[in-house]
Amino acid sequence: MQQPYDTPGAEADAGARVLVVDDDPTVAEVVSGYLDRAGYVVDRAGDGPAALARAAAHWPDLVVLDLMLPGMDGLEVCRRMRGHGPVPVIMLTARGDEDDRILGLEVGADDYVTKPFSPRELVLRVESVLRRTRPAGTPGMLRAGGLEVDPAGRRAVKDGGELALTIREFDLLAFFLRHPGRAFTREELMREVWGWDFGDLSTVTVHVRRLRGKVEDDPGRPRLIQTVWGVGYRFEAAANGS
């Protein structure tokens, strides 16, 4: 795309901007209507190229993205948007196979909703994701294991180099650094990091695997984010000599 992208988060106080991308006009209209009534500024697109053009004109605070789009599918749209800047994505699909859910999460989707779904539940998911991308207050720097995380600036650095993390990967890493040495179950991580009391626990597994690939010297033999068999995961602050 030729035109420059607006700076993420540059929209005024009119409310968060949500881009709804779905080739089913009925689904798009219903979802847009619920989001509009919840106070969001809503843009709509029916295919991948139109979604990228909308994002170029007005960078969204969040994207509700159908996986099965004609031509350019939702995975490719997600990749291209993420190539221009961080943006949280909630993926929609009519297919409920676990492989599809994991594929969406591997690309970096922050949430995954299978059709048919409750529009009111989707609005709650949007609120949950946005709430975590706009944390209140100004928490201090977090440092451990050769990592440095700035929650206010939403920047993470490993050995002096900035990490390219998705919204959820950043939230997960910051949570681990706030609670070093403590083992958490996947259910606890889903509740504390995602804000959900229920959901597909493979979401946590995929995000841990992706995060390890970015923060571990050897992801195949993780030292920072360790698996606690029969429990879940634990962050070892003393790893890497810190």
Instruction: Name the amino acid, one letter, at 78.
Output: C
pTM of the predicted model as reported, rounded to 2 decimal places? 0.58
Mean pLDDT of the chain: 82
Which pLDDT band, with edges at 50, 70 and 90, does 19 fall under?
very high
- Nearest to 65, CA basis, from 55, 75, 56, 57: 75
Neighbours of 122 (CB within 10 A): 20
- Report CA-CA distances (Å) from 176 to 171, 181, 203, 206, 211: 9, 9, 16, 16, 11
List all residues 6 or more positions away from 194 whose beta carbon is below 8 Å from its beta carbon: 111, 128, 168, 203, 204
**Is domain 17-133 classified as CATH 3.40.50.2300?**
yes
Matching CATH topology for 17-133 and 142-235?
no
**Model confidence at 49, in pLDDT bands (50, 70, 90)?**
very high
- Residue 6: predicted pLDDT: 42
Q: Which of 102-106, 187-191, 197-201 has the lowest mean pLDDT?
A: 102-106
- CB 61, CB 8: distance < 8 Å: yes
Q: How many CB atoms lie within 10 A of CB 57?
A: 11
Evaluate if residue 1 carries a pLDDT over 50.
Answer: no
Angle between helices 25-37 and 119-133 (to 10 degrees): 60
Per-residue pLDDT at 139: 57
What is the pLDDT, as a whole number, of residue 17?
A: 86
Domain ranges for the chain, please list them: 17-133, 142-235
CA distance readout (Å), 160 to 85, 133, 147, 155, 169: 21, 23, 8, 12, 18
pLDDT of 191 higher than 70: yes
Least confidently predicted of 22-26, 37-41, 100-104: 100-104
pLDDT of residue 56: 86
The predicted pLDDT at position 168 comes to 87
| 94: Cα within 13 Å, side-chain hemisphere | 6
| Band of residue 58 on the pLDDT scale cut at 50, 70, 90 | confident
Alpha helices by DSSP H, the chain: 25-37, 48-57, 74-84, 98-107, 119-133, 167-178, 186-189, 202-215
| Mean pLDDT for the stretch of residues 29-42 | 88
pLDDT tens for 221-238 read: 999 999 999 999 999 876
Q: How far apart are CA 112 and CA 78, in angstroms?
A: 13
- Domain spanning 142-235 has what CATH number? 1.10.10.10
- The lowest-confidence range among 13-17, 79-83, 175-179 is 13-17
